[in-house]
Structures are given as C-alpha cells and as structure tokens.
Amino acid sequence: MNVETFKSLVSQAQPDCGCNKTDFQSWAAWRTKTRDLDSTLWGKKRLEANMPAGQLENLGPFDHRDEAIKARGYTSYLPNGLNYWSKKAPIAVYFYPFHDCDIYRCKTCQAVFLAYTEESGHVPEQRLRWVRPELISEQK
C-alpha cells in the first residue's frame, strides 16, 4: 500500500465501535507465540489489552517497506525527546518499526492499525498501534 492510500484510509475511520483501539495509542503487545498466557499475571495483563485478531483485516505492508528497511534499518524517528512508548510519538512511516509493519483495519469502525513483530524479548511478540491521522509523519 502506498502512503497516500494509507492516509486516505486513516481519514475514513468512523466513530467508536467498541473495539479496544484506545488501548493501542502507543505500542502495546498484541499477540505472542506463547500459548498459555493465562498462567502468569503478565500474560493476563497483556490479554486484557488484547484486540481479537478476527476484529482486524490485514491489508499487507507498505509498498516502500523493503527500500525503507534498507535505507533506515533500526533507526527510529523520535523528535522533541519523545520515546518509543509515547502516545505522541510520530507514526514515521519510513522509519523503524513502522516501515516493517503490516497495515490492519478494524472491520467495524475502519480504524487503522500498524503491527510488527518485536524480536528482542523472551518470545517474539506482535505489537499493535492505532494510527491517529495527526501523528503520521512522512519524514525520510
């Protein structure tokens, strides 16, 4: 998907449908390869913030993914002292981790999300972030 189409999709989102999108204003754990998350408090906490996978439609990656990964690697774009976890961190589509994301859309309210697989923890974990239009950055 190109960035113009992405921005257009984001602008088409409808009012709230009851999906848990506001739990994903900053990056949050979505899915892991661990099966028994109920067995620990940490797992439970993550499940509470979960978005049922069936609620979202996978629209695939950005067209510029491979090129942007080659150009930027693991470099993030975080101006003004913002950090990775900030709700205000720009959704810089040409930088890590956004350039490596698949684009998802809520089947009910059309809210747009980005998801990538974080490999640096104990288990690979898919993280999800809700895309608010004012946060999109085309900085290259």
Instruction: Return residues touching Zn ion (CB under 5 A).
Output: 17, 19, 106, 108-109, 111
Q: In terms of DSSP bridges, do strands 28-32 and 56-61 run parallel, antiparallel, or are they unpaired?
A: unpaired
Give 102's contacts (C-beta < 8 A, 6+ positions apart). Answer: 58, 59, 60, 61, 114, 115, 116
| Angle at alpha carbon of residue 115, lines to 55 and 48, rounded to 5° | 55
Minimum CB separation of residue 49 from Zn ion in Å reads: 15
Query: Taking Cα atoms as reference points, which of 57, 95, 55 lies closest to residue 78?
Result: 95
Of 20 and 126, CB closest to Zn ion: 20
Of 68 and 103, CB closest to Zn ion: 103
Minimum CB separation of residue 86 from Zn ion in Å reads: 23
Minimum CB separation of residue 91 from Zn ion in Å reads: 18
| Amino acid letter, residue 31 | R
Of 19 and 29, CB closest to Zn ion: 19
Rounded CA separation 112/56 (Å):
9
| Burial category of 30 from C-beta neighbours within 10 Å (exposed 0-12, middle 13-18, buried 19 and up) | buried
Of 24 and 116, CB closest to Zn ion: 24
Minimum CB separation of residue 128 from Zn ion in Å reads: 13
